[in-house]
Chain A
Amino acid sequence: MDPIIAALARAAGLDKALADFPDDVKAAAEQALNNAGVVQVPIDPAAEPWPPMRAGIGL
C-alpha cells in the first residue's frame, strides 16, 4: 500500500476499510486520481459552478 494513500484513507476515517479491504481502498484512490485528472477546469477565474445559487428557493 502506497503510504500516501494509507495516510489519506486514515485522514478520511477509513481505518476499518484500510484494514479489512485494502485492495478496495487502493482501487478507489487510483480511480479518484484518474477521474479528477480528466476534468478541464475553466481558466476563467469568473467561471462559476453549476448549479447557480438561487436565493430563497428550496429553503
Chain B
Amino acid sequence: MTAPSMSAPHWLSAAEAGRAFAAKTLSPVELLTALLARIETLDPKLNAFIRLDADAAMQAARQAEAEIAAGRGRGPLHGVPVGIKDIIDVVGLPTTAHSKILVNNIAKADAVVIQKLRQAGAVIMGKLSTHEFAIGGPSFDLPFPPARNPWNPDHHPGGSSSGSGSGVAAGLFPLALGTDTGGSVRNPASACGIVGLKPTYGLVSRRGVFPLSFTLDHVGPLARTVADNALLLDAIAGHDPGDPGSAATQTRQFGRLLDRGVRGLRIGFVRHFHERDVPAHPEVAAALEDVARVLQAEGADVRTVTLPTLTEFAGINRVILCSEAWSIHAPWLRERPGDYGQLARRRLLPGAFMTAGDYVGAQRRRAELIAAVEDQLREYDVLLCASSMDPASRLDEPEETARTYPRQARTPFNVTGHPAVAMMAGLAQNGLPVSVQFVGRYFDDATVLRVAAAYEKATGWHKKKPPIG
C-alpha cells in the first residue's frame, strides 16, 4: 500500500477542490492541468478514457476560473472535472458505447445530465470506457481496450461503467457518471473501492443516454467519498418531462443528513443473499459481518431480514433486460452481428428467444418482488447486503470473470428501483477492495447516503488509495 500525499491535487475530493477554489489556494485550471498530466502518465495503463477532450475541458476550466474570480460562483461543482461514461451524449463528441456499431455516432445534443452539469459549472473531461453497450465486457475484440483496475491493472475494474470506476479510483478525476441496469455503477464502485450510487428509479433523467433496458436503466454518480457522491447527485437529479420514467419529484440536498450518524436507525441485514443464495468469498462475508458490527457500535439497530432469493431477482432482471434490449438491438443483430464483440452478442441474443409471455410474466412477478422489499422497508430504514461476492477477477482469465460476474446482489434493486449505494468495506489479502451495499426507501436516497457516510467516517476506508502512484 502506498502512502499518498493527501494534499496532492489529484486526491482532492470535489468538495475539497471547491473549497480550495473559493479560498483561492487552487484554481480550476491548476487542478485540471495536474489531472491532465496524471492522465498522460497513468491512462495508458488503465484505459479509463475512450476519448479525452482536453481542449474543451481547459476552456471550461478557464471559464470557471474567470467566473469564480468575478464572484459569479455557481456552486460546489463549479470548476470540478467530471468523466462521462461513453453511452451518455456530449454534444459534438462520438457516443460509441465502446462499440464498432456506433464508432462514428456524433452526439447532436447534450444529454440532460450533461446540461445540468454544465449549468453547475462542472468541467466535462471526456468519454470513458464501458462494456460494449453497457453489457458486453470486459472484451478485447472491440475498437477500444477494456479499462483496468488501478488497485492491480491485471484485474477487472468492474463494469459496465469501467472507465468511471477506474478513473475515479486512480485520481484521474474526482467524479464520474455511470449507468446501472443490473449493477453497472455499483460494480465498478465495488471493484475499485469507491462510492457508487444507483439513485431511485426516475430521480435522474436518462434522456440522451443510449438505452439498454428502459425499465431497469438508471444514471448514477461515482466518487471517492460519500459527500462527493451526494454533491454530484444534487447536480444531476430532477424531473424531466422528456423522460417517460422520470418522477415528478423536487427532492434535493442529498447530503443534508450526512452528519447525522446512524443512532436510532433500523437496518435490515439481508444475510441470505451472501450466505445461502450465492455464497460469498470468505473475505467478503467477513467484511459484511464487520460492517454490521460497526453500524451496531455506532448506534444502529441491525437485524437479519429475508427477501426473495437472488436467483429469482436475477432471472427476472435477465428476462426483462434481454427482452427490452432485443427491441433496441434487433436490427443490428440481424444485419451486423459480426460488428458486436462476442460477449455483447451472446448477452443480447437471448432476447430473440424470449416470448411476450415471458416478458409480461416477469413484469407481473416483479410487482410482487417490489412489494416484498417494500414490506421490509416499512420496518427498516435501510437494508444492508452484499454487492459483489468476490474481489475483482483477472482480466486475462475470462472463465473466472464469467464465473464471478453474476455473483452479486445488485440486480434486485434494478428490479425494484430502490436507491442503492455500493462502497468499499475493506481490502482482501490480494490487495483488492471488497464492498458493501446499502439500500433505502424510494426517493430517500439521502438516508442511504447518511448510512454510507456514517460507515465511511467510522472506518476511513476511503483514505486508502491504490498503489498506482
Contacts and interface: CB of A to CB of B under 8 A. Distances in A.
Interface in A9-59: 9, 12-17, 20-21, 24-25, 27-29, 31-33, 35-42, 47-51, 57-59
A41 B330 CA distance: 26
Interface string B357-384: 0101111111110100000000000000
B319 A39 contact: yes
Interface residues of B, number: 42
A48 B349 contact: no
Contact of A28 (B311, B315, B352): B352
B330 A13 contact: yes
Interface string B194-218: 0000000000000000000001000
Nearest to A42: B364
A24 B349 contact: yes
A15 B335 CA distance: 9
Given A41-B364, A42-B368, A28 B350 contact: yes
Which among A27, A38, A42 has the greatest number of chain B C-beta atoms within 10 A? A38
Given A16-B334, A58-B244, A48 B367 contact: yes
Contacts of B314: 38
A32 B315 CA distance: 10
| Chain B CB within 10 Å, residue with most, of A25, A27, A35 | A35
A2 to B, nearest CB: 11
B367 A50 contact: yes
Interface residues of A, number: 35
| Best-surrounded residue of B248, B322, B330, B337 (most CB of chain A within 10 A) | B337
Contacts of A25: 349
A29 B334 contact: no
A25 B337 CA distance: 11
A39 B358 contact: yes
Contacts of B322: 32, 35
Nearest to B343: A24
Contact of A58 (B241, B349, B360, B362): B241
Interface string B308-321: 00011011101100
A49 B367 contact: yes
Contacts of A40: 312, 365
B364 A14 contact: no
Contacts of A57: 244, 248
Given A14-B334, A47-B368, A50-B366, A39 B361 contact: yes
B167 interface: no
B247 to A, nearest CB: 10
Contacts of A32: 322, 350-354, 358
A41 B354 contact: no
B361 A41 contact: yes
A51 B244 CA distance: 11
B345 interface: yes
A20 B100 CA distance: 17
Contacts of A58: 241, 243-246
B333 interface: yes
B453 to A, nearest CB: 31
Contacts of B365: 39-42
B338 interface: yes
Contacts of B337: 14, 16-17, 20-21, 24
Contacts of A17: 333-334, 337, 345, 349
For A13, A50, A58, the residue with the greatest tally of chain B CB atoms inside 10 Å of its CB is A50
B349 A38 contact: no
A28 B353 CA distance: 8
Given A39-B319, A51-B215, A14 B352 contact: yes
Contacts of A38: 311-312, 314-315
Given A13-B334, A49-B360, A28 B349 contact: yes
B364 A36 contact: no
